Amino acid sequence: MAKREIEYVLGTEQAELERLGLQHQLWTEHTARGWERAGFQRGMRLMDVGCGPGFATVDLAERVGHRGKVVAIDISRRFLAHLQAQATARGLHNIVTALGSVEQLPISQRGFHGAYARWVLCFVRKPEAVVAGVHRRLRKGGVFLIHDYFRYDGITVAPQSEIFQRVFHAVNDSWRMRGGDPDIGCRLPALLLHAGFEVRDIRPIVRLARPGSTLWNWPDSFFNIYLPTLVKMRLIRPRDERAFRNAWAEWSRNPAAFFTTPPMVEIVAVKR
């Protein structure tokens, strides 16, 4: 009997796969800058912690080259299968997948040069377990690069709207109900220090998008998938979903509209 697929908060179906692909494209520039600051380069052995369908994994594998290696860890069989198919199609032989929870990293290897986690620690119940597990598997001087939210409800939309605030508060509540922390970035420096890392660099990342820009499609694709979930969780009502969709359609036609992304933090931590 096949094991049940462990679902993400937003699922692992085709619509979410496509959304994550768009998301990776939209954040590739910021991601690559972080990798550069972390010193990820040819020949390194890296972990992609909570890799999802592996869009970042593939880029990391190309970055470290055939002499390097990327171990991609995730709880979703479906996402790891997608990654394996992409690696085969691209002729990448330096990617290894590991099925399991990032809170109990399912790998025995140690001595990695670095690890990367993007929008992962905000969803887990025990981020301190992830941080400690990564620390144990890095070599001395190894780098843990993290991109995650530090004030998720700091997202802003203009013109301002009560329905937007109501729905976004519901998103926050839904993450916390599942054991996550949408403001995890505020806690990460202390967790890293406690685990034995030196926090070398911390910097904020906030972007602004206007209607018609590609970045505008990022929240658009998110809400298309997640609004029905919020209704099922009874965090908003069906009429709230309809009101939000109508308001978003108006913002999308308004040349004066804009939104700023949820504030993120980039942290570069080094194992002492």
pTM: 0.93
pLDDT tens per residue, range 166-213: 999 999 999 999 999 999 999 999 999 999 999 999 999 999 999 999
Largest CA distance in the chain: 55
pLDDT tens per residue, range 52-107: 999 999 999 999 999 999 999 999 999 999 999 999 999 999 999 999 999 999 99
114 compared with 14, residue with greater pLDDT: 114
What is the C-alpha separation between 135 and 66, in angstroms, rounded?
25
Residue in the block written with tokens 């709230």: 240
Q: 149: closest CA among 125, 184, 118?
A: 184
- Count the helix, strand and coil residues of the chain and give each as a percent rounded to the nearest 5: 45, 20, 30
Sign of CA dihedral 167, 158, 221, 267: negative
- Quick one: which H or E segment has residue 95? strand 95-99
pLDDT confidence of residue 137: 98
Specify whether the CB–CB gap between 174 and 231 falls below 8 A.
no
Q: 8: closest CA among 82, 74, 56?
A: 74
At residue 151, does pLDDT exceed 90? yes
What residue ranges in 159-238 does DSSP mark as E strands? 197-205, 208-209
Q: Read off the DSSP letter of residue 104.
A: G
At residue 109, does pLDDT exceed 80? yes
pLDDT tens per residue, range 9-39: 666 678 788 888 888 999 999 999 999 999 9
Tokens for 78? Answer: 């479906």
